[in-house]
Structure 1
Amino acid sequence: MNQTTYLDRLTGLDGDNAPFANERYRYLRHCAERGATPASLEIKRKELLWIAAHLGPDASEGVDTQALQRMATERQRLRGAVTAAQRVVNIGRPWLRFLGWWREPTVVFQYQSQLEQYVTWMRNERGFTPSTVEQWSRMIGRFLRWCDQTNRQLRDLQPEDVDAYFVTQATGRWSRVSVANTASTLRAFLRYAAKRGMCTDRLAASICRPRLYRQESLPYAPDWFDVQRMLADAETDEPRDIRDRAILLLLAVYGMRSGEVAALRLDQINWEGRTLRLFRLKRRQPQIYPLVSSAAEALARYIDTVRPPSSCPEVFLCMHAPRRPLKAGSIYDVANRRFVALGIDAAHRGGHALRHACASRLLAEGLSIKEIGDHLGHRSAASTSIYAKVNMQALREVGAFDLGGLQ
Structure 2
Amino acid sequence: MFETLVSTDRALARHRDGPLAEQRNRYLLHCADQGGTRESLRLRARSILWVAEHMSPNDFGKVDASRLHEIVYGSVSLATPAPTTAATLVSFARPWLKYLGWWPQVEDSIPFAPALEHFVAWMRDERGLTQCTIDQWQYRTSKFLHWCSDTGRDLATLRPQDIDAYFVTYGAQRWSRISAGHIATMLRVFFRHTASIGACSAALACSIQGNRRYALEALPYALSWDDVRRVIATTSSDTERDIRDRAILLLLAVYGLRRGEVASLRLDQIDQLGGQLHIWRLKRRQPQIYPLVPSVGEALSRYINDVRPSVTHAEVFIRVQAPRIPILATAIYTIVSRRLRALDIQAAHLGPHALRHSCAAKLLADGLTLKEIGDHLGHRSTSATMTYTKVDLASLRQVGDFDLGGLQ
Q: State the TM-score, normalizing by the size of structure 2.
A: 0.74
Question: Structure 1 residues 296 and 153 mapped into 2: Cα distance closer, same or farther (>3 Å)?
Answer: closer
Q: Which amino acid aligns with 2:4?
A: Y
Between 313-322 and 286-295, the greater mean CA deviation after superposition? 313-322
Q: Which amino acid aligns with 2:91?
A: N
Give the equivalent residue in structure 2 for 1:140.
141
Matched-pair contact (CA < 8 Å) for 1:219–1:356: yes
Matched-pair contact (CA < 8 Å) for 1:73–1:85: no
Q: 2:119 aligns with which of 109, 119, 122?
A: 122
Matched-pair contact (CA < 8 Å) for 1:7–1:29: no
Give the equivalent residue in structure 2 for 1:364.
365
Q: Which amino acid aligns with 2:180?
A: V
SS state at 1:289 partner: strand
Give the equivalent residue in structure 2 for 1:229.
230
Matched-pair contact (CA < 8 Å) for 1:54–1:71: no
Counterparts of residues 241-320 of structure 1 (less than 5 Å) = 241-303=242-304, 306-320=307-321
Q: Which amino acid aligns with 1:163?
A: D
Q: Which amino acid aligns with 1:32?
A: A
C-alpha displacement at 1:167, in angstroms?
Answer: 1.4
TM-superposition CA deviations, 1:24-77 (whole Å, max 9, x none): 545423422444233432343355566698799996xxx7xx746534533443
Give the equivalent residue in structure 2 for 1:402.
none
TM-superposition CA deviations, 1:356-402 (whole Å, max 9, x none): 11122222223333332332233343433433444826999xxxxxx
C-alpha displacement at 1:300, in angstroms?
Answer: 3.8
Give the equivalent residue in structure 2 for 1:347.
348
Give the equivalent residue in structure 2 for 1:42.
42
Distance in 2 between the 1:31 and 1:216 partners? Answer: 50
Matched-pair contact (CA < 8 Å) for 1:224–1:357: yes
Matched-pair contact (CA < 8 Å) for 1:11–1:25: no
Give the equivalent residue in structure 2 for 1:327.
328
Give the equivalent residue in structure 2 for 1:74.
71
Between 81-90 and 265-274, the greater mean CA deviation after superposition? 81-90
Between 384-393 and 358-367, the greater mean CA deviation after superposition? 384-393
**RMSD after superposition:** 4.2
SS state at 1:384 partner: helix
Matched-pair contact (CA < 8 Å) for 1:279–1:287: yes
Question: Structure 1 residues 177 and 328 mapped into 2: Cα distance closer, same or farther (>3 Å)?
Answer: same
C-alpha displacement at 1:178, in angstroms?
Answer: 2.0
Question: Structure 1 residues 173 and 122 mapped into 2: Cα distance closer, same or farther (>3 Å)?
Answer: closer
Give the equivalent residue in structure 1 for 2:4.
6
TM-superposition CA deviations, 1:219-239 (whole Å, max 9, x none): 222222322233344445566
Matched-pair contact (CA < 8 Å) for 2:111–2:149: no
Distance in 2 between the 1:37 and 1:263 partners? Answer: 25
SS state at 2:174 partner: coil
SS state at 1:279 partner: strand
Q: Which amino acid aligns with 2:42?
A: E
Distance in 2 between the 1:293 and 1:29 partners? Answer: 40
Question: Structure 1 residues 106 and 38 mapped into 2: Cα distance closer, same or farther (>3 Å)?
Answer: same
Distance in 2 between the 1:45 and 1:202 partners? Answer: 60
C-alpha displacement at 1:142, in angstroms?
Answer: 2.3
Distance in 2 between the 1:382 and 1:55 partners? Answer: 67
Question: Structure 1 residues 165 and 91 mapped into 2: Cα distance closer, same or farther (>3 Å)?
Answer: same
Between 158-167 and 132-141, the greater mean CA deviation after superposition? 132-141
Pair 1:178-2:168 in alignment: no
Matched-pair contact (CA < 8 Å) for 1:7–1:25: no
TM-superposition CA deviations, 1:161-214 (whole Å, max 9, x none): 322221122224202232123223333444566677766554443321113344
Question: Structure 1 residues 273 and 17 mapped into 2: Cα distance closer, same or farther (>3 Å)?
Answer: same
Question: Structure 1 residues 185 and 270 mapped into 2: Cα distance closer, same or farther (>3 Å)?
Answer: closer
TM-superposition CA deviations, 1:229-271 (whole Å, max 9, x none): 3334444556644443332212111112222222334443333
Residue segments in structure 1 that go unaligned for 5+ positions in a row: 397-407
Q: Which amino acid aligns with 2:212?
A: R
C-alpha displacement at 1:100, in angstroms?
Answer: 7.9
- Between the two proteins, what is the percent identity of the paired residues? 46
Question: Structure 1 residues 259 and 16 mapped into 2: Cα distance closer, same or farther (>3 Å)?
Answer: same
Distance in 1 between the 2:58 and 2:17 partners? Answer: 18
Counterparts of residues 48-87 of structure 1 (less than 5 Å) = 48=48, 67=64, 69-78=66-75, 80-81=80-81, 86-87=87-88
C-alpha displacement at 1:118, in angstroms?
Answer: 0.6
SS state at 1:210 partner: coil
Q: Which amino acid aligns with 2:293?
A: V
Between 151-160 and 274-283, the greater mean CA deviation after superposition? 151-160
Distance in 2 between the 1:231 and 1:17 partners? Answer: 49
Q: State the TM-score, normalizing by the size of structure 1.
A: 0.74
Give the equivalent residue in structure 1 for 2:32.
32
Q: Which amino acid aligns with 1:230?
A: V
